[in-house]
Every structure is written in C-alpha cells, then in structure tokens.
C-alpha cells in the first residue's frame, strides 16, 4: 500500500480528535435531552455519523483498534438511530466511556506505541453485550403520494425517520426553496432552525431546476404536527413554496419497487401536485425547542501546529531588533549630518514598525481558540462525578466563545477540572441538606468566562455550603502555616486565602475525587505558570466563587522595562497599575514585611535587588521608584532604580538549568540586542507573602 502522505496522516489525527470532541459534545446534548424526558433523533444521527467517519478514517489510515471500536459503536448507534434499540442511561454511559478510550487510542497511534488493547477489548465486549437489537426495519409503508425519485435517494436513516414520523401521525410537507448557491449553507441552517419548532426535515433534494446559474432549487421533505397554514406562517417566504404531500388511497409503497428516475427533465423529483388546501391534522403542543444543531463550519480553514506559530512569533521578535537597529541607524546618520537620509530611514522605520505591529496582531489572533474547547471536557467530568457521588448537578456555561491563547487553554484543563471536582465534592451539599436549607435539591455550578481588557476571566461559582473558614484556620494552624496568635488579625479575605496554603485544602481522608492529595495550592501554582491568578469569595450557606484572571496570550507582552542594580528587567504592563517615586522615609514595618501607605491603603514592598540576590549598588543617591503591580485583588510594590519605558517583547523560555529560579518567567531580547529578564509578578507576590509569613511566624513563636 502506497503511503497516503504525511500531510494526510497529520490531518487524520487532528480530524479524528475533533470528531471525538464533537462526539463527546453530542453525547452531552443527548444526556441533557434524555434527562429532560425528550428525544432528538438528529442528535443520535450525528453521533452515528461521528463514529461512522471515524471508522472510515481508521480504515484508510490503518488504525485498527480505532476501527474495531468504531465498528462496534456504529452498530449500536445505527440500532439507536433506526429505532431498533432504546437509548437508556446505561447505553449512554457506555458511549461516554468510548470518548476516553478513543483519546487513549489516538495518543497511542500518534506516539506509535501500542494501542490500549485491554481498554478497547473491554469496551467492545460491553458494546457486544448491548447487542444492536434484532428487529429488522420494516418496509416503508407510506400512506403518502411520494415521488419515487425522492424515495430512491433516501439513505437508510432518512427512510427510517420518514417511517417513524408517519407512524407517529405527523403529516408530510414539501418545501420547494430557491437558494442562492453562494449562501445556501447559511440559508438552509436558518430554515432548519425555524423548522425545528414544527417538526423535522427528513431530506433535501436538488430539483434540477433553477432560476439562474447562481441559484439552486431544493425540495425539502418535512414532517410536522402543525397544519399548512401554521407552516406557511413561519416558514413561508418569497422563495419558499410549501405544500402538503397528499395522502395516498392505495396502501403501502414498497421501497423495493422503486425505479431509477428518468434522466433529465425538471419533473424528476416533484412530489406530486399539492393538496387542495390544508389538511386538518392531529393538533398537539409543538415539540419543545430542541438543542441547536451544531453548525458545520462554512469557513475555509487550515490547521497549523502551534510550534510553527511560535516560530513566526520568534521571527517577529527578531524583526523588532532589526527595527531598533533601523532607528539607531537613523540617529547615527543624522549625527553625521545627513539629515535627509536620516529622515528617509526614519520613514522606513515607521512603516516597518506599523507593519510589524500588524503582523504580530495577526499571528496572535491565529493562536486564539474559544474556551468552549476545555469547557466541553469539563461538562463531561461534571456528569461523571455527579453520577459517581450521587449528587445532581446543573452545569451552566456562559462565555464559551471567549477566546484565549491555545497554549493557555491546554494548561487550563487540569486546574479547572480539579476546581470543579472540589466544588462538587466539598461545595455542593447532599440533596437532603440542601432541601433542609431551602435550596433546590440539584446543585448548580456556573462556569463563566469573559474578556476584561488584556485578560480573560474565568469564574467557577457553586451554590453549595461555602467555605468553613474556622476549619480552614484550624487546619492552617495544625500544619504550622500560621500562628494562632496571628489569626484574629486576618481579614476574612485572608482567611479564605488560606485555602491555597499547602496541605490545608487536602482532606484528612481523601475523598474519591478531589482529595487525591492535590490541594488548591497546586492548582494555584499551575495556574501561576501560565500567568494566572486565582481569587476566592465565599459565603457560608450561599456558595463559593473562584475567579481566575489569565493573560490572553503568553506569546507577546507589552512590558514595562525597569532597571535594578544595573540590569534591565521587564514586567508585563497588564499587571502594572502605576509607578510612583519611592520615599524610604515613609517605609513602615508590619508583621515583618515592609509596607508603605498608598492613598490610605497598605502596599507591601518588595526590594527586587534583595529578592533576586543582585549585588545592590548600595543606598542609591538618585531617586528610586516603586512599580505597583496588581494581580487579582492583591498588590505589591516593586522597588526599582529606573523606569525605562514600554516595549512589546517576545518572551523566550529560560533553559532547564534555570528551572529552580522563581520570580522570572523568561528572557527577552531587547531592541539594543541586550537580553532582559522577565519578572513574574505572580511568583514575586508568592515569594514576598511567604517570606513575610515566615517572619511573622518566627516573631509569633519568639514572642
């Protein structure tokens, strides 16, 4: 077998992963529909199509385990969509477990390692045990005058839907619609969306006639409980003609007796003449608005490895240096007296600068992905855990369309998952406790994301019992994280902050889920690695809200350049609120930490030269500055020798040998070809607060 090509293979992995993700979303929608007591055949069909495509891909690209699993799943889903099998919660559970097995298989395939045989075999055995129903689909006993040309192009599924709708007493209608070829996808989605309230569109067929070369005419076969007048009222338009399909007198049109349609001719697929007026049909409540069908992307896209974008961004960084060289060249030429040449170079420089900015923004935009990607995974986790711990949870997601850097999204999944586990396990009370407290028995977890300036905010809010600060405090004291004497000085916010202290948020008896020895301190540290800061608010009996503040991207940062002990450092402007002149006379000492008072509020001070162990230049003669950084609700003043200005910088990771250096998030090349180190305000805050705590503890113990 010839090589299908490396590109095709790459595409195979990406596409397979996307399909598995879509499959997972689909199952979640099915779960929700099932819980609401309804059913949505189109969702089952979409799930079928997903595994069907996966099976096809697996076959072409030689992924045998994936093929095997898809084959079994396809059988089950085919039985479900053709009505031969009933969708029970157990069946749905099995389908859900397939999502994880797919993920394992894909990883194994990509790494060229062994596919997880046991997991696939186990799941296949379960699927086999489910069987796929034995009742064969009956003949299409249509009581309608349907055109053979139309019946001939129905797939097995469409035929089943047609049969099922007729059996349920729905009436058939034909919508003849003129579409503009250029916009047909969107126009059809709109009609589908509107038609959903009235019933189901079973199939679409081009009629072969069109008003012009740019248009196309489609016949839509629709089943509905509503009468013709109602349908015309909501779906009718200039380019839409709706007719009822007349009922037939003779019974049964066997599908086997179909003839191939005659070639040519516009009458090929007409569905017989319209009925003379609307037929009175069984009037029932219209079906509830169903889950919005996933819109197939109509945009043209290419997939790119994020490393390639990193590479592009590095080139932008290097071009920034060229830009700096140009600027200095202009100055030198000017100094040599060639004013005109200097002005020309300056013009080139400006143009270059503008284009470079555009290039950078364009690359950044490409890196952005919607947070929905990670939220979908969380929805699955919520479903799983809530079942396992026997708590009913409603997950409300808003702002899934909020975009953030792809790399940040990847790193978000674990911390968010842990926080959600915490909320279900410790936050949401049992149904009995909730009812006694006058709350609805089902707990609600709200996942909300939105953009705020250069940051993306993610809130995880539960309506559970809230955090028990006293218990937290006891724990912190027991772990030696805080002195009891210090306790009454702590504000409520500081008390809640203890949840992020190592050891404190870990349960004594690890619960099945959140208490896996991973505490909120780890969550916080991991978020810190991607520049995230977490704040907690909690009200006893009402609930807990965790707010994560994240940078939109890590690739490029508008930075404030400062000088400390002769070296240049960069701090992200997004975390700087202001810079003020440092007045050592106003320094005070509270609990072992240096603070100043800024507009009536206490601001902890951090001496960068000391924290970074730089050779201090001694008490500086000139004036020094305090750069006030704020992260979430907290602030810290950094003492620097000089503020040099702002610059867009591309952050490069420090090598592995720098791993143990905290407080630095990377290095950057500056315009004058020097290297500057990038400060990590989140880590600095940690450092300062930790050392202050140690000092306070020492003071408390000593006293």
Partner 1 sequence: MPRVLVVEDSGATRAYVRGALTAAEAGGNLIEVVEAESGFEALRLLPRGDWALVITDVNMPDINGLELLSFIRSSERHRATPVLLMSTQTSERDRERGMKLGAAGYLAKPFTPQELRDEALRHMRSAEVESQHG
Residues that bind partner 1 (CB under 8 A): 1-5, 7-8, 11-12, 14-16, 49, 52-53, 55-61, 67, 149, 152-156, 158, 181-182, 184-185, 188, 203-206, 208, 213, 216, 258-261, 263-265, 268-269, 296
Q: How far is the CB of 283 from partner 1 (least distance, A)?
A: 30
Nearer residue to partner 1 within complex by CB, 159 or 461: 159
Buried b / exposed e along 517-554 (16+ C-beta atoms within 10 A): ebbbbbbbbbbbebbbbbbbbbeeeebbbbbbbbbbbb
Q: How far is the CB of 346 from partner 1 (least distance, A)?
A: 47
Q: How far is the CB of 47 from partner 1 (least distance, A)?
A: 13
Single out the residue of 443, 343, 330, 340 nearest to residue 386, CA to CA: 443
Buried b / exposed e along 160-191 (16+ C-beta atoms within 10 A): bbbbbbbeeebbbbbbbbbbeeeebeebbeeb
At 427 the three-state DSSP class reads helix
Handedness of CA 196, 198, 202, 205 (dihedral sign): negative
Q: How far is the CB of 209 from partner 1 (least distance, A)?
A: 9
How far does the chain reach from its first CA to its final CA, in angstroms?
80
Number of neighbouring beta carbons within 10 Å of residue 220 = 21
Q: How far is the CB of 432 from partner 1 (least distance, A)?
A: 46
Q: How far is the CB of 22 from partner 1 (least distance, A)?
A: 12
Q: Which two tokens stand for residue 25?
A: 């979303």
Q: Using CA atoms, how far apart are residues 277 and 283, in angstroms rounded to an integer? A: 17
Q: How far is the CB of 605 from partner 1 (least distance, A)?
A: 56
Q: How far is the CB of 219 from partner 1 (least distance, A)?
A: 10
Nearer residue to partner 1 within complex by CB, 3 or 659: 3
Nearer residue to partner 1 within complex by CB, 265 or 441: 265
DSSP state of 253: -
Q: How far is the CB of 399 from partner 1 (least distance, A)?
A: 28
Torsion of CA 423, 427, 433, 437, to 10 degrees: -110
Give the per-residue SS3 of 25-52. Answer: HHHHHHHHHHHCCCCCHHHHHHHHHHHH
Q: Using CA atoms, how far apart are residues 192 and 337, in angstroms rounded to an integer? A: 72
Nearer residue to partner 1 within complex by CB, 4 or 131: 4
If 0-12 CB within 10 Å is exposed, 13-18 middle and 19+ buried, where does residue 428 land?
buried
Q: How far is the CB of 268 from partner 1 (least distance, A)?
A: 5
Centroid of chain to Cα 187? 27
Nearer residue to partner 1 within complex by CB, 11 or 474: 11
* Cβ 615 vs Cβ 565: under 8 Å: yes
Nearer residue to partner 1 within complex by CB, 122 or 214: 214
Give the CA angle between residues 626, 628, 632 to the nearest 5°.
160
Residues in the chain: 703
Q: Which residues pair with 486 in a beta bridge?
A: none
Q: How far is the CB of 263 from partner 1 (least distance, A)?
A: 6
Q: How far is the CB of 158 from partner 1 (least distance, A)?
A: 8
Cα distances (angstroms) measured from residue 146 to each of 236, 467, 637: 22, 64, 78
Identify each DSSP E strand in 489-641 by its residue range: 533-539, 543-551, 556-564, 567-572, 576-581, 588-590, 593-598, 601-607, 625-631, 634-640
């Amino acid at each position: 077998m010839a090589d299908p090509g490396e590109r095709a293979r790459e595409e195979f992995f990406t596409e397979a992963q996307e399909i598995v993700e879509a499959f997972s979303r689909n199952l979640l929608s099915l779960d929700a529909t099932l819980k609401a007591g309804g059913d949505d055949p189109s969702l089952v069909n979409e799930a079928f199509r997903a595994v069907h495509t996966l099976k096809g891909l697996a076959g072409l690209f030689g992924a045998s385990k994936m093929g095997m699993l898809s084959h079994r799943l396809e059988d089950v889903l085919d039985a479900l969509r053709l009505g031969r099998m009933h969708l029970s919660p157990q069946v749905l559970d099995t389908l859900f477990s397939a999502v994880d097995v797919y993920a394992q298989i894909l990883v194994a395939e990509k790494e060229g390692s062994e596919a997880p045989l046991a997991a696939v075999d186990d799941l296949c055995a379960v699927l086999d045990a489910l069987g796929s129903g034995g009742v064969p689909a009956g003949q299409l006993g249509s009581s309608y005058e349907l055109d053979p040309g139309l019946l001939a192009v129905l797939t097995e599924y469409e035929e089943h839907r047609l049969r099922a709708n007729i059996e349920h007493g729905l009436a058939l209608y034909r919508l003849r619609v003129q579409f503009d070829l250029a916009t047909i996808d969107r126009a059809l989605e709109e009609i589908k969306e509107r038609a959903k309230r009235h019933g189901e569109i079973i199939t679409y067929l081009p009629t072969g006639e069109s008003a012009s070369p740019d248009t196309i005419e489609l016949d839509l076969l629709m089943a509905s409980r509503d009468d013709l007048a109602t349908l015309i009222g909501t779906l009718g338009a200039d380019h839409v003609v709706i007719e009822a399909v007349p009922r037939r007198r003779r019974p049964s049109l066997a599908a086997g007796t179909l003839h191939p349609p005659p070639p040519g001719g516009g009458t090929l697929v007409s569905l017989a003449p319209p009925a003379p007026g609307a037929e009175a049909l069984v009037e029932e409540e219209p079906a509830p608005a169903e889950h919005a069908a996933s819109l197939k992307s109509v945009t043209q896209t290419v997939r790119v490895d994020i490393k390639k974008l990193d590479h592009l961004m590095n080139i932008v960084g290097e071009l920034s240096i060229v830009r700096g060289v140009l600027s200095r060249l202009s100055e030198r030429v000017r100094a040599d007296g060639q004013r005109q040449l200097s002005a020309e170079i300056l013009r080139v420089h400006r143009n270059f600068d503008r284009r470079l900015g555009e290039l950078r923004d364009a690359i950044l935009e490409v890196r952005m992905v919607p947070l929905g990607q990670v939220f979908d995974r969380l929805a699955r986790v919520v479903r799983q855990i809530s079942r396992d711990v026997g708590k009913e949870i409603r997950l409300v997601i808003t702002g899934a369309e909020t975009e953030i850097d792809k790399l940040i999204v990847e790193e978000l999944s674990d911390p968010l998952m842990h926080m959600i586990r915490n909320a279900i396990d410790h936050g949401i009370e049992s149904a009995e406790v909730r009812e006694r407290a006058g709350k609805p028995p089902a707990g609600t977890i709200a996942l909300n994301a939105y953009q705020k300036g250069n940051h993306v905010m993610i809130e995880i809010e539960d309506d559970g019992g809230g955090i028990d600060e006293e218990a937290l405090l006891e724990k912190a004291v027991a772990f030696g994280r805080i002195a009891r004497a210090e306790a009454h000085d702590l504000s409520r916010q500081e008390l809640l902050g203890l949840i992020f202290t190592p050891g404190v948020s870990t349960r004594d008896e690890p619960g099945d889920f959140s208490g896996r020895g991973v505490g909120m301190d780890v969550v916080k540290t991991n978020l810190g690695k991607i520049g995230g800061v977490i704040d907690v608010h909690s009200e006893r009996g009402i609930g807990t809200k965790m707010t994560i503040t994240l940078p939109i991207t890590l690739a490029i940062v508008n930075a404030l350049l400062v000088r400390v002990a002769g070296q240049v450092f960069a701090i992200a402007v997004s975390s700087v609120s202001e810079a003020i002149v440092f007045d050592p006379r106003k320094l005070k000492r509270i609990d072992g930490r240096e603070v100043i008072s800024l507009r009536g509020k206490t601001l902890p001070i951090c001496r960068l030269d000391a924290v970074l162990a730089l050779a201090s230049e001694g008490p500086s003669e000139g004036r020094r500055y305090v750069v006030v950084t704020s992260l979430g609700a907290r602030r810290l003043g950094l003492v620097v020798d000089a503020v040099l200005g702002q610059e867009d910088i591309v952050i490069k990771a420090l090598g592995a040998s720098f791993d143990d250096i905290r407080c630095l998030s990377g290095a950057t090349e500056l315009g004058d070809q020097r290297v500057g180190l990038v400060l990590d305000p989140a880590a600095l805050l940690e450092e300062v607060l930790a050392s202050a705590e140690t000092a306070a503890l020492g003071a408390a113990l000593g006293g």
